[in-house]
Structure 1
Amino acid sequence: MIKFNRRMFLRTAGLAALGSGWSKTAAAGTFFWKRLFSVSPRDTVLITPNDKFYIVSYDGFPEIDLAGWFLYIGGLVKKPARLTFADFYSRPSVELAATLICIDTLPGGDTISNAIWRGIPLKTLLEEVGPDPSAFDVVFHAADGYSDSIPFERAVGDNVLLAYMMNGEPLPRAHGYPLRAVVPGLYGIKNVKWITEIEVVDYDYKGYWQQRGWTDKGEIRIVSRIDNPGHYQEIQGREHTVRGLAFGGYYGISRVELSTDGGKTWNPTDLDPPLSPYAWVIWKYHWEIPAPGAYTLMVRAWDKRGQLQPTKLEQAYPAGASGYHTVVALVSS
């Protein structure tokens, strides 16, 4: 539900008060809308710095004393295990570049980030404890009371990580210190932070958000975004490098196209190599602008299965938002 707050009231009141001014001249109207809805260009980078990485939490950030922390692995396993952080740190580790995105992210939203994670493959620990053949889900329990699960088949894949480092630094408190799950291809709700217990179960476990109607699968839908120009940004001259990012979840990105005429025609873009199959792609397009005016830019992407990003604009609930990100660029002479 949208809350009608003070800022929205002032904007709506401004529309009413300035409505007559909008009709006087197109220039005045353009200026008004630019001031009201303009969004600055964003930096498009391969790696999101830790202090810029998006943060969404269930109930604040728990304070964890590393000296007393341990991870318990149990449930339907032959040899339950209790591991301290020293046990984790002494084991061979791997690095994985992976993009995380909140399930509540709307087209063009900011709650998507990319990092290089270091930790231990979940598969390794599960093999050590000996899961029962009836295993169906692997449940992550967190220090703040949150929980969620992933299918057992996915948990024993090669790319699910129990991470304790982020971009070469110890995992920050806001991002799950001392241990979090990194599950490529699944929305942030499945990448549980502040893990204290891993439980193997023989049924379809429903976590905190599933009990409230959100998706259990958590599969990321294809997303693409325009970072530059910003919405209602003024562009000087007849050439501009349009750039942004695209992310295909587990399946990567094969193609990104940009429209500069509101979706009537589409143009291929240039893609930079991603850091891994599970990381976002940066795309660029050299735009030769035919004439001054207001242009509607739209972006769309395909994953490596050949699937096109959903065109229909849908809300985030219950399985993630969809639709093409659109910005208006104002080109002056």
Structure 2
Amino acid sequence: MLTAGAAAGLTYPIFRLLERMFDDATFTYDGQTFHRDTITPITPTELFYTVTKNVVDPEIDRDLWRLEIGGNVDDPKSYSFDDLQDFEQIDQETTLMCISNNVGSGLFSNANWRGVRLRDLLNASGVQEGAVEVLVSGADAFSDTFAIEKAMAEETLVVYQINGEPLPRKHGFPVRIIVPGLYGEKNVKWVTRVEVVDHDAKGFYEKQGWGPDFVPKVRSDVFAPFLARDQRQKTRGQWIIRDQFRANDAIELKGRAFAPDQGIGSVEVSTDNGETWNPAELYYPGTEITWALWSYTWRPTIAGEYVVIPRCTSRKGEQQPVEPQRTVPQGAQGYHKVIALIQ
């Protein structure tokens, strides 16, 4: 991530460009470009977003790899890749999102994962009384933490496949953690050790000032029709539907919605900047640990400029926050507002 010190040394035009790139998250850290027209219920592996702190990611020999379970446990263990096959194998769809992802941006993907439950490995070692967190470390010297309750949750996995294939190197080959309901940095890649601790430990990004809340906010956005940044002076930089439509055209709006550990109960769409709202269809309702995809057919009868806004409510009744919040330090929130020009 771009630090304040690094930004200060840049010329103003370059800084503004980098600021815009990070704000939009139109690329992932491996250079993969984010295109909204490629969004599908399951993100193809080659399009799944990537974030890394590394100049060069670890290259690990699967046959030499080991996963250590240690710390405050009765029986520390070391597992080979083949040892993981002795545990119950779990297939699970899970959405991940980076804490630096802005509302409506691209560091946000959904995939099918295969692996074993972390709690099965922890139970095999015997977690001692007084455990507070697990400290998860990767081969790249990255570490992060989450509560022991989350580590023992049924959905928290140690995985070795994405979308039916071995994890690519950039996604943590041979093994990574998947911990639904928390921002992406908690899903440690190239994992080599899980240590049970009896105190509040700090992870890599928390030490840099991120957090302390690492739970994504309930959110929704628009991804279709095609969006671009408005170049008109009065609304420069705002999202705008690039396609041209006329009054009485049927316009199919589509978007994503996400309520971590809750699932999406409903999505509503406003085409008058929040004055009135209409229900959208959840054409991919998802689960408690995945995104949902929504659609809404809009037929404007009068030419003019409109502001389209989606909002969502979780299955537990939590509503999407209205007040905008930037990504630092606890992740973005607020409405995704999109301008539509109708001729």
Name the TM-score class by shorter chain.
0.7 to 0.9
* Preserved contact between residue 216 and residue 260 of structure 2 (Cα < 8 Å): yes
In structure 1, the gaps of 5 or more residues are 10-38
Q: Tell me, in whole angstroms, the C-alpha distance in 1 between the residues paired with 2:60 and 2:274.
A: 50
| Structure 1 residue identity aligned to 2:293 | I
Q: Tell me, in whole angstroms, the C-alpha distance in 2 between the residues paired with 1:192 and 1:316.
A: 20
Q: Tell me, in whole angstroms, the C-alpha distance in 2 between the residues paired with 1:67 and 1:241.
A: 50
**CA distance 1:265–1:64, shift in 2 (3 Å):** same
Alignment of 1:257 with 2:265, yes or no, is no
Which of the numbers 323, 327, 332 marks the counterpart of 1:312? 323
Runs of 4+ in 1 over 6 A off after TM superposition: none
SS at match of 1:328: strand
Tell which structure's C-alpha radius of gyration is larger: 1
Tell me the residue number matched to 1:19: none
Alignment of 1:213 with 2:209, yes or no, is yes
- 1:85-108 deviation digits (Å, cap 9, x = unpaired): 111134331111010000011111
Tell me the residue number matched to 1:190: 186
Tell me the residue number matched to 1:51: 46
Tell me the residue number matched to 2:159: 163
* Preserved contact between residue 263 and residue 286 of structure 2 (Cα < 8 Å): no
Give the TM-score normalised by the residue count of structure 1.
0.87
- Bigger RCO (CA 8 Å, 6+ sep): 1
Give the TM-score normalised by the residue count of structure 2.
0.84
Alignment of 1:241 with 2:252, yes or no, is yes
| Structure 1 residue identity aligned to 2:322 | T
| Structure 2 residue identity aligned to 1:5 | P
Higher helix share: 1
* Preserved contact between residue 104 and residue 317 of structure 1 (Cα < 8 Å): yes
SS at match of 2:114: strand
In structure 2, the gaps of 5 or more residues are 18-33, 228-239
User: What displacement does 1:235 show?
Assistant: 3.0
- 1:139-173 deviation digits (Å, cap 9, x = unpaired): 11011011011100111111101110000000111
User: What displacement does 1:275 show?
Assistant: 4.1
The aligned length equals 303
- 1:217-244 deviation digits (Å, cap 9, x = unpaired): 4111111110112223123342111111
Q: Tell me, in whole angstroms, the C-alpha distance in 2 between the residues paired with 1:7 and 1:235.
A: 32
SS at match of 1:236: coil
| RMSD over aligned Cα atoms | 1.8
| Structure 1 residue identity aligned to 2:45 | N
* Preserved contact between residue 294 and residue 328 of structure 1 (Cα < 8 Å): yes
Q: Tell me, in whole angstroms, the C-alpha distance in 2 between the residues paired with 1:87 and 1:217.
A: 34
- 1:43-91 deviation digits (Å, cap 9, x = unpaired): 3311000010001012142111112111011001111111001111343
